[in-house]
């Protein structure tokens, strides 16, 4: 399979297909926690956070969930959509990003589609999927996780990144985080977003999730690396890393018995149906 979008098999399974690690991982409802973790991690790049805050409804609790559900839909199409659907989605996203700018604290303007920002968002997302899968007990091997990170180079191409410049293994991803840490911090917008996330105002369509979201937010945040929690000023929040891992395993075991639609993972139905019987 290619590292760039636009080439799929005869049945057009899009970027990945039923044999991919991507379909297997993203069919798991526990990946909801990974999505929340990714947002907390992504917010530690000041330009990513400021650009998001200044250009979206992120700061408005009544509207922020609309952005979140649009992000979920983007991931669903990118993962399970046909080649044509993914190409349309990518073109639309790249066009939107190319027109958006943010402003630093010192007044400097920057583009939201700068490669550094796109790469940080990409790595925060896929790294969170891999970390939650590993710690929650999803049946994946280290080789599977490396394959997943490599597959996700195709996702990076959708937003306009050169796949060759994107980490392709867990080791490369860890090295990238080490390289980026000096550039990271919890800016005021990131701290405010963190506080707002623990008192979410859900739209009517998501009210069935009102009891699930707060504990999932806690798990998403608590599963961040210690250095990330330290930047937010809460390195431990009363939970040890082993306790968080146990909680993630319990979450995985409980969510495997829930319909994927509850977590808006519509593509998971297709993925699970495509799996061979155990």
Mean pLDDT of 216-244: 86
pTM for the full model? Answer: 0.85
Token duo for residue 235? 């390195």
Return the higher-pLDDT residue of 61 and 83.
83
The reply to whether 1 falls in a domain is no
Please tell me the predicted confidence (pLDDT) of residue 237.
60
Instruction: Compute the distance between CA of residue 29 and CA of residue 263 in angstroms, rounded to an integer.
Output: 6
Instruction: Compute the distance between CA of residue 40 and CA of residue 220 in angstroms, rounded to an integer.
Output: 8
The reply to whether 7 falls in a domain is no
DSSP notation for 4-26: STT---TT--TTT-TTSHHHHHH
Contact predicate 103/163, CB 8 Å:
no
Total domain count for the chain?
1
β strands within the chain, DSSP E: 101-103, 109-111
**Region of residue 160 (left: phi > 0; alpha: psi -120 to 50; beta: else):** left
Mean pLDDT of 114-126: 97
The reply to whether 266 falls in a domain is no
The reply to whether 13 falls in a domain is no
**Confidence band for 10, pLDDT divided at 50, 70 and 90:** low
The reply to whether 174 falls in a domain is yes
What three-state secondary structure class fits 110?
strand
Domain encompassing residue 250: 21-259
pLDDT tens sequence across 171-221: 999 999 999 999 999 999 999 988 888 776 766 666 666 666 778 888 999
**Confidence band for 57, pLDDT divided at 50, 70 and 90:** low
The reply to whether 10 falls in a domain is no
Distances (CA, A) of 139 to 101, 214, 222: 41, 26, 22
- Tokens 């700018």 — which residue? 101
The reply to whether 85 falls in a domain is yes
The reply to whether 209 falls in a domain is yes
Please tell me the predicted confidence (pLDDT) of residue 59.
57
């Amino acid at each position: 399979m290619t590292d760039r979008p636009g080439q799929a098999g005869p049945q057009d399974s899009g970027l990945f297909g039923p044999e991919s690690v991507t379909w297997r991982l993203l069919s798991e409802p526990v990946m909801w926690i990974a999505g929340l973790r990714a947002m907390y991690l992504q917010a530690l790049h000041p330009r990513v956070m400021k650009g998001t805050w200044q250009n979206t409804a992120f700061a408005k609790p009544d509207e922020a969930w609309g952005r979140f559900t649009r992000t979920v839909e983007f991931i669903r199409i990118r993962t399970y959509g046909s080649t044509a659907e993914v190409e349309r989605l990518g073109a639309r996203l790249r066009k939107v990003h190319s027109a958006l700018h943010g402003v630093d604290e010192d007044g400097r303007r920057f583009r939201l589609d700068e490669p550094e920002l796109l790469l940080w968002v990409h790595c925060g997302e896929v790294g969170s999927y891999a970390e939650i899968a590993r710690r929650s007990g999803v049946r994946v091997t280290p080789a599977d996780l490396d394959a997943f990170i490599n597959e996700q180079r195709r996702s990076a191409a959708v937003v306009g990144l050169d796949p060759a410049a994107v980490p392709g293994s867990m080791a490369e991803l860890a090295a990238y985080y080490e390289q980026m840490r000096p550039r990271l911090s919890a800016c005021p917008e990131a701290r405010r977003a963190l506080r707002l996330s623990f008192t979410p105002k859900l739209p009517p369509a998501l009210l069935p999730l009102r009891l699930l979201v707060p504990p999932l937010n806690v798990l998403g945040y608590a599963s961040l690396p210690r250095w990330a929690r330290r930047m937010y000023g809460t390195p431990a929040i009363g939970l040890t890393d082993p306790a968080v891992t146990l909680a993630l395993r319990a979450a995985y075991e409980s969510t495997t018995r829930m319909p994927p639609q509850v977590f808006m993972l519509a593509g998971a139905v297709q993925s699970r149906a495509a799996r061979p019987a155990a």
